[in-house]
């Protein structure tokens, strides 16, 4: 194996692991915070972003940033293997954008807590959340068309496409009926968001990561 191929193999392996570790680490970190703050935080009523507020909110802010960086690394790896198709390029770019939105949601525009202990958005967090969920959904949908054209990825094309479509359908539902403070289903915002993330987005991303890891060439000395 040439030096170039070894470097490519190493890079794809790193990208695949970033894709695997990102969602798992992000989930474990937010669940640990929920358990530590169980007296003050409701995972049924409050979104994951609400963990950014309060004295220990920095943990979730860092969690967003780490997940965002790992998402961008994973997107770059997918680009390397799906770039021959336009759908692969666009889909990988959309996934990269979702990583940027995560970093901004954590480092640039975190939620805050006022003197009364009420969580609020000082500006910028919700728009970045919208970008994250929308770009993630579009990324899955577009990438699915690239997968369908490559023998090694074809089995994932339909499941990934379904996940992307379901996320796109859920976006207006969440934006109108769940997330706004006066929305009729706002008291279930945390549960609804977790269903989207854990039931649609993360399974698709983990499946893509596992396949990328399997397809990464074996590095030899």
pLDDT digits (tens, 9 = 90+) for 153-175: 999 999 999 999 999 999 999 99
Count CA within 13 A, CB hemisphere, residue 192.
22
Distance separating alpha carbons of residues 163 and 141, to the nearest angstrom: 8
pLDDT digits (tens, 9 = 90+) for 51-68: 999 888 999 999 999 999
Domain boundaries, the chain: 3-215
DSSP string, 179-218: SSTT-TTGGGHHHHHHHHIIIIIHHHHHHHHHHHHHHSPP
Residue carrying the six token digits 């770039």: 83
13, with CB counted inside 10 A (0-12, 13-18, 19+), is: middle
pLDDT digits (tens, 9 = 90+) for 109-155: 999 988 888 888 998 999 999 999 999 999 999 999 999 998 889 99
pTM for this predicted structure: 0.92
């Amino acid at each position: 194996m040439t030096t170039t191929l070894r470097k490519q193999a190493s890079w794809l392996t790193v990208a695949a692991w970033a894709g695997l570790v990102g969602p798992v680490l992000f989930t474990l970190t937010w669940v640990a915070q929920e358990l530590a703050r169980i007296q003050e935080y409701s995972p049924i009523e409050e979104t994951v972003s609400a963990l950014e507020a309060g004295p220990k909110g920095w943990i979730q802010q860092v969690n967003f940033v780490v997940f965002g960086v790992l998402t961008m690394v994973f997107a770059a790896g997918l680009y390397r293997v799906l770039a021959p198709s336009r759908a692969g390029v666009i889909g990988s770019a959309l996934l990269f954008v979702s990583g940027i939105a995560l970093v901004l949601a954590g480092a640039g525009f975190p939620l805050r807590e006022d003197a009364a202990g009420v969580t609020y958005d000082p500006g910028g967090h919700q728009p970045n959340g919208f970008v994250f969920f929308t770009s993630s959904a579009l990324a899955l949908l577009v990438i699915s068309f690239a997968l369908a054209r490559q023998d090694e990825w074809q089995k994932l094309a339909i499941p990934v496409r379904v996940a992307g479509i379901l996320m796109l359908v859920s976006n207006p539902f969440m934006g109108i009926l769940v997330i706004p403070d006066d929305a009729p289903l706002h008291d279930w915002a945390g549960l609804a968001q977790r269903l989207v993330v854990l039931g649609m987005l993360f399974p698709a991303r983990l499946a893509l990561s596992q396949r990328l890891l399997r397809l990464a060439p074996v590095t030899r000395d």
